[in-house]
Amino acid sequence: MAMSNVGIPCRQLYIDGEWREPVKKNRIPIINPSTEEIIGDIPAATSEDVDIAVEAARKALARDDWGSTTGAQRAKYLRAIAAKVLERKSELATLESLDSGKTSFESAADMDDVAACFEYYADLAEALDSKRKTPVNLHLDSFKTYVLREPLGVVGLITPWNYPLLMATWKVAPALAAGCAAILKPSELASITCLELGEICREVGLPPGALNILTGWGPVAAAPLSSHPHVDKISFTGSVPTGTKIMTAAAQLVKPVTLELGGKSPIVVFDDIDNLDIAVEWALFGCFSNAGQVCSATSRLIIQESIASEFLDRLLLWTKNIKISDPLEEDCKLGPIVSSGQYEKVLKFISNAKNEGATILYGGERPEHLKKGYYVQPTIITDVNTSMEIWKEEVFGPVLCVKTFKTEEEAIELANDTKYGLASAIMSKDVERCERFTKAFHSGIIWINCSQPTFHQLPWGGKKRSGFGRDLGEWGLEKYLNIKQVTEYTSADAWAFYKSPSN
């Protein structure tokens, strides 16, 4: 096993710029998924702590040191956070791997992305100053009008465990750039690095209450945010059932929500590809990176019949070559699943597929050389039909299911045969065909001749049951702004709608 000499910090809740013990004093153990050992614990917030954090956030908005900042001032905080993340990159990456099972390479890449995302929204915060007030010319002498873009208020950010600090950053950075006050509730399965973000905010002197971080169980620590009358918006990434609960609670208060939910994304491979191995590697990366725990994982391979056999042969060779180990070991390419619950869920999907008549072409079990930890072999499933669970449901593990097609029409029908609509990928050298698929795919993200590369300048989100609204890019900022129109009557003349009693 790879050794780490990084200690797990013992933190409290981060509220109003300081560490606070939860009112009920409860804690949740942190489990390292590669050893199944308890390595520390995190505070467990309850609705009492949520109330305190919401009050701190409201006060921050009312105070000049946060509520009256310009975008340029907020950008300074965001850049300072980015710099601290880079300064602590190696430690944060190790903590992320110990907590979530991510390979050290992927955790380090996440930390780079976290810093770059804070930098990006610092730029957008600065740009916001010149767009804060936009005059609108009505071509009328008697009215002067303009539009203000203001922070929306107190926002609740509820995030998952698959990219713990990165998913938090996709929401925290734009919310702070917009000037909102935020309450972040990371996943109870992986919260360590999000709590360290609290320490970073304290060190850079982010005004108290601008960002509060509450760890804890979802129904106890996050649900009260959805139903809180003083939380103005919820931005959520996670499962469909939880997204539905959040939307239902928020609907009672007509509270806006952004939901980034699951997926069962297709990767369609045509026989005109130039290089089989290049396409095979993208198919692999699209489903097995981050151990398949990616909302946009292209977990349905739809392959043209004419090259299916050769493609699968190559896919098998590449898959067998994947190094599965403790995520901190050098060159590890597949770590464990995040928790025992998720591990059992993935294995159940595989056994259900077998019971429904599919073939486990490769994998499907714990790797023989790893006796402890929530490890699942990269798994390839063939002889799949469209009524099977494995075709329809999100596994959130390293499990690829395969179907073949003959014609383009058949391929697009299979690709769109899902209740989800997050991402879709096509591999083909025919430019016009790629354009046809770009239009025909029912999803918010399209990858052409690749799968998964993600850039913070581009909108991220889906349609159908993958949710609505967008993280990232300028769209990721807009959702934290209130658009306020101001109409001023500038004429000295009376309005003269009613008859004046004086004449």
Ligand X SMILES: NC(=O)C1=CN([C@@H]2O[C@H](COP(=O)(O)OP(=O)(O)OC[C@H]3O[C@@H](n4cnc5c(N)ncnc54)[C@H](O)[C@@H]3O)[C@@H](O)[C@H]2O)C=CC1
**7, 9, 205, 219: which one contacts ligand X (CB under 6 A)?**
219
Site for ligand NCCCC(=O)O in 257-316 (CB under 6 A): 294-296
In the chain, what is the straight-line distance between the N-terminal and C-terminal CA atoms, in Å?
Answer: 94
Residue of minimal Cβ distance to Na ion: 99
Question: What one-letter code names the amino acid at 268?
Answer: V
The reply on whether position 454 binds ligand NCCCC(=O)O by CB under 6 A is yes
The reply on whether position 96 binds Na ion by CB under 5 A is no
Listed in sequence order, the DSSP H helices in 133-275 are 164-178, 192-203, 223-226, 240-251
- Say which entry of Na ion, ligand NCCCC(=O)O, ligand X, none residue 415 contacts (CB below 5 to 8 A, set by partner kind): none
Q: DSSP readout, 272-309?
A: T-S-HHHHHHHHHHHHHGGGG--TT---EEEEEHHHHH
SS3 146: strand
The reply on whether position 99 binds Na ion by CB under 5 A is yes
Which C-beta is closer to ligand NCCCC(=O)O: that of 168 or that of 361? 168
State in angstroms the smallest separation of the CB of 32 from ligand X.
17
Q: DSSP readout, 389-428?
A: HHHHS---SSEEEEEEESSHHHHHHHHT-SS--SEEEEE-
Site for ligand X in 233-292 (CB under 6 A): 237-239, 242, 245-246, 260-262
**Residue 79 CB partners (closer than 8 Å, separation 6+):** 118, 119, 122
Question: What one-letter code names the amino acid at 73?
Answer: Q
The reply on whether position 163 binds ligand NCCCC(=O)O by CB under 6 A is yes
Of 93-101, 161-169, 399-407, 432-440, which segment contacts ligand NCCCC(=O)O by CB under 6 A? 161-169
Which C-beta is closer to Na ion: that of 7 or that of 135? 7
SS3 358: coil
Q: How many residues in the shown chain lie near Na ion by CB under 5 A?
A: 3
How many CB atoms lie under 10 A from the CB of residue 474? 14
- Say which entry of Na ion, ligand X, ligand NCCCC(=O)O, none residue 99 contacts (CB below 5 to 8 A, set by partner kind): Na ion
Which C-beta is closer to Na ion: that of 40 or that of 156? 40
Distance of CA 479 to the CA centre of its chain: 15
Which C-beta is closer to ligand NCCCC(=O)O: that of 169 or that of 404? 169
**12, 69, 94, 187: which one contacts ligand X (CB under 6 A)?**
187
SS3 381: strand
104-131 vs 164-178: helix crossing angle, rounded to 10: 10
Task: Identify any residues that bridge with 144 across adjacent strands, giving them in sequence order.
Answer: 488
State in angstroms the smallest separation of the CB of 468 from ligand X.
13
Site for ligand X in 429-488 (CB under 6 A): none
The reply on whether position 185 binds ligand X by CB under 6 A is yes
- Say which entry of ligand X, ligand NCCCC(=O)O, Na ion, none residue 197 contacts (CB below 5 to 8 A, set by partner kind): none
Question: What angle is formed at CA 224 by the lines to CA 218 and CA 230, rounded to 5 degrees?
Answer: 140
Which C-beta is closer to ligand X: that of 218 or that of 256? 218
How far is it, in rounded angstroms, from Cα 266 to Cα 289? 15
Of 162-170, 323-331, 349-357, 439-447, which segment contacts ligand NCCCC(=O)O by CB under 6 A? 162-170
**Residue 494 CB partners (closer than 8 Å, separation 6+):** 500
Residues labelled as active-site residues: 260
Strands 379-382 and 359-362: antiparallel
**Residue 127 CB partners (closer than 8 Å, separation 6+):** 71
State in angstroms the smallest separation of the CB of 163 from ligand X.
8
The H or E element spanning position 114 is helix 104-131
The reply on whether position 451 binds ligand NCCCC(=O)O by CB under 6 A is no
Of 15-23, 115-123, 222-230, 300-308, which segment contacts ligand X by CB under 6 A? 222-230
Q: What is the 3-state secondary structure (H, E, C) of 457-486?
A: CCCECCCHHHEECCECHHHHHHCCEEEEEE
Of 77-85, 179-187, 323-331, 359-367, which segment contacts ligand X by CB under 6 A? 179-187
State in angstroms the smallest separation of the CB of 286 from ligand NCCCC(=O)O.
11
The reply on whether position 191 binds ligand NCCCC(=O)O by CB under 6 A is no
What is the side-by-side order of every strand in the sheet holding 300-304?
Answer: 359-362, 379-382, 399-405, 300-304, 266-269, 423-427, 445-448
Residue of minimal Cβ distance to ligand X: 218
Instruction: Read off the tokens for 275.
Output: 């290089």
The reply on whether position 162 binds ligand NCCCC(=O)O by CB under 6 A is yes
Which C-beta is closer to ligand NCCCC(=O)O: that of 101 or that of 207? 101
Which C-beta is closer to Na ion: that of 327 or that of 461? 327
DSSP 204: T
Contacting residues toward ligand X, per CB under 6 A? 158-162, 185-189, 218-219, 222-223, 226, 237-239, 242, 245-246, 260-262, 295, 342, 345, 394, 396
Contacting residues toward ligand NCCCC(=O)O, per CB under 6 A? 162-163, 167, 237, 294-296, 452, 454
Contacting residues toward Na ion, per CB under 5 A? 31, 99, 190
